[in-house]
Amino acid sequence: MANVFVSTFPFCRSDKKALDHLIANGHQVEINPLGRKMKPNEVLENAKDFDALIAGTEDLTPLVAGSTRLKLISRVGVGLDSVPLDLCIKNSVSVAYTPDAVSPAVSELTIGLIVDLMRQVSLADREIRNGQWTRPYGNRIGKAKIGILGFGRIGKRVASHLLGFLPTEILVCDVLNKAKEIEEIQNLLEEVYVLNSKLGKKWGKTVIRQVNLDELVESSDILTIHVPLLENTKNMFNYNLMQKMKPSSFLINTARGGIINEDDLFEILNSKRIAGAALDVFEEEPYFGLLKNFENVILTQHMGSCSNDCRADMETEAAEEVVRFFKGEPLASKVV
């Protein structure tokens, strides 16, 4: 059986099913001893003599380049920007991931951040703790245009969660034509209208449509990012793009650090070019940067996937891929 190193943190914090599954199938398991996200050279140092790696978002390039034993990377999550796929192919390292399990938790956190930003929930909490009571005003989702960049698994779920709020518009921007997915959401909207009519509510109808990036940025009251970190999305939200946003708008990133240029976002916020932002992901994690000095910024700890059920599902699916691989069975979610 295989020796398996787990670099992702946390792992089996609230549910031991994934670990139990590996051990029950005869695998030897060692878990990240640092209690934090590992740096690239730390992954190499700790995992170079293992057959398989259960990974988070750590940069795995040094490990794949430096290990002669590694046969499988099983990624807990969906993003693959930290996995050097070309090098994996060259070195005959198979890669699997868990693309579906993360979507419910990330999309729900995104909705929470939308509500928080628009109603200034975190600001009110901080004020009370500091002896203040200004009762800050906010805006309703039902009167807003919500922009969604990336309409894959998570972006589509965000749109479906928004239906009950009935925003004036949901603007979708994606490199692919999403007419079919938009039609599905529009059909669900019709059911919401019927229900509201039965309840005696006379709310306006929501329009959902696909737009280009410029219209998305210029028109959205809330813009939420759900694209992978790729060469063409790295630093996508730079100063020039963000300055096109409305002064009253908010920016949310629960996708990947690096899509928003954090230095440029600091300048945008410092000059009050937008109303605020919420970030769950950062270029360098843990985050200790200057964005923490803004009252109108919400910072969370790359915890989009961290609901008990979704995290357990992700970990279990990653462990199951390890077991399949060393039994000689096909991987369920093979990347390369």
Choose the catalytic residue: 75, 157, 226, 302. Answer: 302
**Considering only CA atoms, which of 226, 83, 76, 36 is closest in space to residue 149?**
226
The alpha-carbon radius of gyration of the chain (Å, integer) is 21
Distance CA 137, CA 328 (A): 59
**Considering only CA atoms, which of 21, 50, 105 is closest in space to residue 327?**
21
Q: What single-letter DSSP state applies at residue 310?
A: H
State yes or no: is 302 an active-site residue.
Answer: yes
**Considering only CA atoms, which of 242, 251, 241, 239 is closest in space to residue 117?**
251
Distance CA 24, CA 27 (A): 7
State yes or no: is 256 an active-site residue.
Answer: yes
Tokens of 328: 């000689």
Choose the catalytic residue: 256, 311, 321, 324. Answer: 256
Distance CA 30, CA 306 (A): 21
Instruction: Give me the active site residues, please.
Output: 256, 285, 302
